[in-house]
């Protein structure tokens, strides 16, 4: 079929940002095309793998770029370099498995970050060609302009078409989902620049998103604030909601912990103080291995509860903090093997491919404990830590740690995430007394592969959390 093809590519048209263009194709042979594929060549000297994206014809049809049996279609191309002549290879695949390839140059305008942050990275260690395995792209959860995609050469490769607070965001099914910090609105941003909005439909006492959104058992895990009977619900609620915005299940940790403490002889009013930031939930993940939820309370500990009942399974945290003075909570505490660092002030929980609990171990003491009670240990450096948990023996072991020679302290925000080959992405979001955001890549042997930083206009402004994203292998079906 490819030898008889009459397909031609016309001049690209600019998208809503310099990182997106739309490429028109025409010809009778489009009726025989089943898939489209494009690769953006890296700049000379770049080490991040090429942007590599494919669409089935059905995917383009569902997105409005093609009409069934039409002789015209449009291929959205994202991940371009701004202010550059991008060399792009477009390939179409026909029903008979033959292909036709089109070389294409796409000239893009310059992108100027309105805050002069992300277009002015300070590269401390540049990645080299011998260290190209692992992570090539990540997205920063920023205050402005929203989730922003950057490659590991510190090049911006995608920004939202509208300015959003991107703190509470996730990437799922090839698009961003962003929760509003002042309402229950959910913004859906497609990589081609299209936008839609929905809203959570929970009980009326919830009012806004905070911190993370992640994948749950049945949908997404969100963290909500609100007001009930005149009392703040402040950073202590997790909900599992579906793609329509309907809440499937919720966990109120003020209620869960109060009921448990009361049933086991402690007075919960001494610990659970809903009108203040007593819990400070900043991360929640679903553990399918035992149908449970693992939640980070920055002020206190990490707590694991049964998904259905909310029953507490274990607690992992600094035993010099106030929470450990309560016998009921102490009874659920995991003992850490000698030599390990307890998680304190932690963020960004995840489960590694080999089943360990991975987190950013900030090293900050508690900020909101009652006057005269123990705020716990305070370190002078932050680490990334992984723990093996033995719930049967109620023990934990810190099996991996990266502390960068104890040279960086980021007391709040921050993250660490791994990919399947063991590479890691670290975000020291509040480095240098909260004035810098530092992004560091590690290979599977914990060697630093890249290291760069951004100025932070305010605490955590330039990316409170950073996650790997696979711009080098995205498929729309």
Task: Match domain 2-107 to its CATH number in 3.40.50.720, 2.60.40.10, 3.40.50.300, 3.40.50.2000.
Answer: 2.60.40.10
Whether 460 and 412 have beta carbons less than 8 Å apart is answered as yes
**Terminal-to-terminal C-alpha distance of the chain:** 22
Residue whose pair of structure tokens reads 């909005």 in the numeric block: 197
- Give pLDDT, residue 228: 84
Where are the domains positioned within the chain? 2-107, 122-471
Q: Rounded to an integer, what distance in angstroms lies between the CA atom of residue 191 and that of residue 174?
A: 7
The CATH class for the domain spanning 122-471 reads mainly beta
- Topology match between the domains 2-107 and 122-471: no
pLDDT tens for the 477 residues of the chain, in order: 667 899 999 999 999 999 999 999 999 999 999 999 999 999 999 999 999 999 999 999 999 999 888 899 999 999 999 999 999 999 999 999 999 999 999 999 999 999 999 999 999 999 998 777 789 999 999 998 999 999 999 999 999 999 899 999 999 999 999 999 999 999 999 999 999 999 998 888 899 999 999 999 989 999 999 988 888 889 999 999 998 899 999 999 999 999 999 999 999 999 999 889 999 999 999 999 999 999 999 999 999 999 999 999 999 999 999 999 999 999 999 999 999 999 999 999 999 999 999 999 999 999 999 999 999 999 999 999 999 999 999 999 999 999 999 999 999 999 999 999 999 999 999 999 999 999 999 999 999 999 999 999 899 999 999 999 999 999 999
DSSP secondary structure letters along 271-282 = T--TTS-SS-EE
Q: Rounded to an integer, what distance in angstroms lies between the CA atom of residue 176 and that of residue 457?
A: 24
- Give pLDDT, residue 67: 86
Q: Rounded to an integer, what distance in angstroms lies between the CA atom of residue 13 and that of residue 77?
A: 10
* 374 CB-near residues (< 8 Å, 6+ apart): 320, 321, 322, 325
* Structure tokens, 302: 């990490």
* 399 CB-near residues (< 8 Å, 6+ apart): 356, 386, 387, 388
Please give, one letter per residue, the 3-state secondary structure of 222-273.
EEEEEEECCEEEEEEEEEEECCCCCEEEEEEHHHHHHHHHHHCCCCHHHCCC
Q: Which of 334, 327, 331, 333 has its CA nearest to residue 266?
A: 327
- Give pLDDT, residue 229: 85
């Amino acid at each position: 079929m490819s030898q008889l093809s009459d397909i031609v590519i016309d001049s690209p048209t600019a998208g809503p940002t310099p990182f997106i263009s739309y490429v028109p194709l025409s010809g009778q042979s489009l009726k025989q095309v089943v898939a489209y594929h494009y690769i953006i060549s890296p700049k000379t000297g770049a080490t991040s793998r090429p942007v590599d994206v494919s669409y089935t014809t059905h995917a383009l049809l569902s997105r409005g770029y093609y009409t069934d049996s039409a002789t015209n279609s449009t291929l959205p191309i994202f991940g371009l370099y701004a202010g550059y002549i991008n060399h792009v290879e477009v390939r179409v695949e026909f029903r008979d498995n033959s292909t036709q390839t089109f070389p294409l140059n796409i000239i893009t305008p310059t992108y100027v970050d309105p805050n002069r942050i992300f277009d002015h990275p300070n590269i401390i260690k540049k990645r080299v060609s011998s260290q190209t395995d692992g992570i090539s792209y990540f997205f920063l959860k920023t205050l402005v302009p929203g989730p922003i995609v950057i490659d590991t050469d510190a090049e911006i490769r995608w920004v939202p078409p509208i300015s959003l607070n991107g703190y509470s965001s996730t990437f799922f099914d090839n698009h961003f989902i962003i929760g509003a910090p002042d309402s229950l609105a959910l913004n859906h941003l497609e990589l081609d620049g299209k936008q839609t909005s929905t809203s959570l439909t929970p009980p009326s006492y919830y009012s806004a998103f905070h911190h993370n959104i992640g994948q749950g058992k049945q949908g997404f895990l969100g963290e909500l604030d609100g007001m009930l009977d005149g009392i703040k619900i402040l950073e202590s609620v997790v909900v599992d909601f579906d793609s329509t915005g309907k809440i499937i299940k919720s966990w109120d940790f003020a209620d869960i912990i109060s009921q448990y403490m009361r049933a086991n002889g402690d007075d919960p009013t001494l610990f659970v103080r809903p009108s203040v930031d007593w819990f400070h939930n900043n991360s929640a993940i679903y553990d399918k291995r035992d149908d449970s939820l693992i939640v980070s309370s920055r002020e206190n500990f990490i707590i694991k509860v049964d998904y259905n009942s909310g029953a507490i399974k274990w607690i992992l945290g600094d035993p010099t903090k106030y929470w450990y003075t309560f016998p009921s909570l102490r009874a659920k505490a995991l003992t850490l093997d000698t030599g390990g660092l307890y998680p304190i002030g932690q963020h960004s929980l995840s489960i590694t491919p080999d089943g360990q609990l991975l987190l950013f171990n900030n090293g900050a003491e508690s900020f909101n404990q009652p006057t005269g009670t123990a705020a716990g240990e305070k370190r002078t450096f932050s680490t990334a830590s992984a723990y093996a948990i033995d719930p049967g023996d109620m023990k934990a072991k810190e099996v991996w740690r990266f502390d960068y020679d104890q040279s960086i302290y980021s007391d709040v925000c921050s993250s660490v995430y791994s990919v399947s080959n063991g590479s890691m992405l670290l975000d020291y979001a509040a480095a240098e007394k909260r004035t810098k955001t530092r992004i560091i890549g590690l290979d599977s042997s914990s060697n630093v592969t890249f290291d760069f930083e951004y100025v932070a206009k305010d605490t955590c402004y330039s990316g409170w959390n950073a996650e790997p994203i696979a711009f080098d292998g995205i498929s729309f079906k």
